[in-house]
Amino acid sequence: MIDQIKFIMVFKTDVQSQREAMLMSEILRQKFKGLQVNFDLQDEERILRTEGRIEATAIAYLVRRFGFSCRFLSFAEPIT
pLDDT tens for 37-79 read 999 999 999 999 999 989 999 999 999 999 999 999 998 766 6
Q: Contact, 11 vs 47, CB < 8 A?
A: yes
- 42 burial via Cβ count (<10 Å: 0-12, 13-18, 19+): exposed
Q: Could you tell me the pTM of the whole model?
A: 0.88
CA distance 21 to 4: 27
Domains defined along the chain, listed by start: 2-75 (3.30.70.100)
Neighbours of 22 (CB within 10 A): 13
Res 4: pLDDT: 72
Q: Contact, 60 vs 11, CB < 8 A?
A: yes
